[in-house]
Amino acid sequence: MRNTEATRMLFELHSPGRRAALLPACDVPPTPVAALLPGDAVAESAPPLPELSEPDVIRHFINLSTRNMSVDTHFYPLGSCTMKYNPKRNERLASLPGLVDLHPQQPAEQCQGMLELLYEMQQMLGEIAGLPGVSLQPAAGAQGEFTALLVASAYFRSRGEQRTRVLFPASAHGTNPASAALAGFECVQLKGTAGGFVDLDELQAQLDDRTAVFMVTNPNTLGMFERDLPEIARRVHAAGGLVYIDGANMNAICGITRPGDFGGDMMHYNVHKTFTGPHGAGGPGSGPIAVRDFLAPFLPGPVVERTTGREGAAVYWLAQPEHSIGRVRSFFGNVGILVRGYCYLRTLGPQGVREMSENAVLNANYLLARLKDVLPVPQGDRCLHEFVASAQKLKETRGITAMDIAKRLLDFGFHAPTVYFPLVVPEALMIEPTETESRETLDAFSDAIHQIVAEAPESLQRAPFSTPVSRPDDVRAARQPVFQWTPT
């Protein structure tokens, strides 16, 4: 790392005695902190925090921000994550005082506008999914998965059934088995077909009275539509199980087809992936779930319900479903992100939502066609919203890996695609352009890939060249993290 102010840590900028503000001497007798707090609440010495002036702090973070990659600064073709541009209009609307200043503990009669908005959001998500029961409470997609599995568990308990297994294909997102295990289920991974689809014979061999849920992403992680899903659902239902649709790839099918119509019983949405909420960095998340009517009584609460008042006006209130699994998030959920999603849906309308998906599919197929000559796509010449290319031939013939391509892309001002996932494709590059990118951007990205694969392998293996850090030792960093700082 180059030793410049832009890359030095705050601890390295530390100067004893430096302050952001210098206050005059206290004009009243001071009281020691030890006299105000219990003895066990007072540390023996102050924490070793860096001492800095206000310009030190501001310049440090502004300089760091110029080194960040985000959808506001760069093309971000991160397959599986749907890094689409977040319209600033939605940010402004979500910041209106009448929305942002509400407190979750205010009485319902003082929050009728917000409750109406959230009720309509429930209705829209239920319509898009084809599943009428909706809870907006889960705070992220993975928590939505976990919540839906808790709903399934409560449903089976109410029927006196001991179902302990969750099945999922080998190409599933890693959160699927993680959520199932956390919910107390045994995880069973199924082998896929050579074409990347669910193997019906493999599925049938695993179905029995222990089967609780079959979890599947459709379109799947390889960017293809599981056309056998109605038959898959029929077999799972015949065994007494439920079908869970991972909604991570809804950006490809919104307004075109619905999980409830092709066999799903439960699903989650990723508001950041599908409806342009801010994405990543451990920041705000929202993972609403939608379920069939017979599962709705088990949803986490509260949910918003609507009744008619004395003069015929709608009245909105919070209710707890009859057999609710309880609360999975404080208060109502991440309302700020839900408001952004609501604004996005109301801006587009039904036809606009369909066009969103159609354009996402068009962009992905355009980019696939431009790249397949240098990065073959094992699953064929067509995809939905994303595709998985392979650098395996480049590695075998020239020693160029998926990681080499990903690192070199940074020098061209592009974030790398997802690499080495899914594991069923060797040297995988998982590419998702989304519908918010222009043809010019896609052409520039394609041109960069073609230039990169034509470069000398010895050079590529040292890339990137324009970043403060080139190739950190990721394994060593994970095994030997350095957390300690000693003041100078």
The string of pLDDT tens digits covering residues 185-217 is 999 999 989 888 999 999 999 999 999 999 999
Bridge partner list, 306: 316
Instruction: Please report, for the chain, the start and end positions of each structural domain, with discontinuous segments joined by +.
Output: 1-66, 88-347, 357-475
Task: Report d(CA 327, CA 324) in Å as an integer.
Answer: 8
Q: Please, which pLDDT band fits residue 6 given cuts at 50, 70 and 90?
A: low
Q: Which helix or strand (DSSP H or E) is residue 182 part of?
A: helix 175-182
pLDDT for position 320: 95
Query: What local confidence, expressed as pLDDT, does residue 67 receive?
Result: 81
Which residue in 162, 479, 123 sits closest to 303, CA to CA?
Answer: 123
Examine the pLDDT at 386 and tell me if it is beyond 90.
yes
> Which two three-digit tokens encode residue 228?
């056998």
Q: What is the mean pLDDT of the chain?
A: 92
Residue 68: pLDDT above 90? Answer: no
pLDDT tens string 78-96: 998 899 999 999 999 999 9
Amino acid (one-letter) located at 330:
S
Closest CA relative to residue 136, chosen from 419, 335, 281 = 335
Taking CA atoms, 199 is separated from 178, 202, 204, 392, in Å, by 22, 5, 9, 25
Type of residue found at 218: N
So what's the pLDDT on residue 20? 86
List 359's β-bridge partners, or say none: none
pLDDT of residue 270: 94
pLDDT confidence band for 169 (50 / 70 / 90): very high
| Beta-bridge partners for 286 | none
The residue ranking higher by pLDDT, 60 or 267, is 267
Q: Using 50, 70 and 90 to split pLDDT, how confident is the model at 485?
A: low
- Residue 3 is predicted with a pLDDT of 42
C-alpha closest to that of 337 among 300, 284, 382, 390:
284
- With 80 as the cut, is the pLDDT of residue 326 above it? yes
Inter-CA distances, 240 with 6, 159, 181, Å: 59, 11, 20
**Taking a C-beta distance cutoff of 8 angstroms, is the pair 95, 88 a contact?**
no
327/483 Cα distance (integer angstroms): 36
Q: What is the DSSP string of 155-176?
A: HHHHTT----EEEEETTS-THH
First to last CA, the chain: 20
The H or E element spanning position 214 is strand 211-217
Over residues 45-67, the pLDDT tens digits come to: 888 899 999 999 999 999 888 88
> Is the confidence at residue 277, as pLDDT, over 90?
no
| Cβ contacts of 205 within 8 Å, gap of 6 or more | none
Q: For 289, phi and psi rounded to 5 degrees?
A: -120, 150
**Alpha-carbon distance 399 to 1, whole Å?**
27
**Any idea which fold 88-347 has?**
Aspartate Aminotransferase; domain 2 (3.40.640)
Query: What is the average per-residue pLDDT within 148-172?
Result: 96
Q: How far, in Å, are 173, 202, 449 from residue 189 at the CA level?
A: 12, 10, 34
Residue where the block lists tokens 């969750």: 166
Residue 487 has pLDDT above 80, yes or no: no
Q: What is the pLDDT of residues 328-350, one digit of tens each?
A: 998 888 999 999 999 999 999 99
Kindly report which listed range (1-5, 129-133, 320-324, 399-403) carries the lowest average pLDDT score: 1-5
**Could you read off the pLDDT of 405-435 as tens digits, one per residue?**
999 999 999 999 999 999 889 999 999 999 9
**In this structure, what are the phi and psi dihedrals at residue 290, rounded to the nearest 5 degrees?**
-125, 140
Q: What is the pLDDT of residues 234-261, one digit of tens each?
A: 999 999 999 999 999 999 999 999 999 9
DSSP 393-429: HHHHHH---HHHHHHHHGGGTBPPPEES-STTSTTEE
**Is the pLDDT higher at 331 or at 287?**
287
Query: Out of 3.90.1150.10, 3.60.21.10, 2.60.120.380, 3.30.565.10, which CATH number does the structure's domain 357-475 have?
Result: 3.90.1150.10
Maximum Cα–Cα distance across the chain: 82
Could you tell me what percent of the chain has a pLDDT over 70? 97
Q: CB of 137 within 8 A of CB of 304?
A: no
Alpha helices in 66-172 (DSSP H): 88-94, 97-100, 112-129, 141-158
What integer pLDDT is reported at residue 181 of this predicted model? 96
pLDDT digits (tens, 9 = 90+) for 429-457: 999 999 999 999 999 999 999 999 999 99
- What pLDDT is stored for residue 281 in this prediction? 55
CA distance 219 to 229: 10
Helices (H), strands (E): how many in the chain?
A: 16, 12
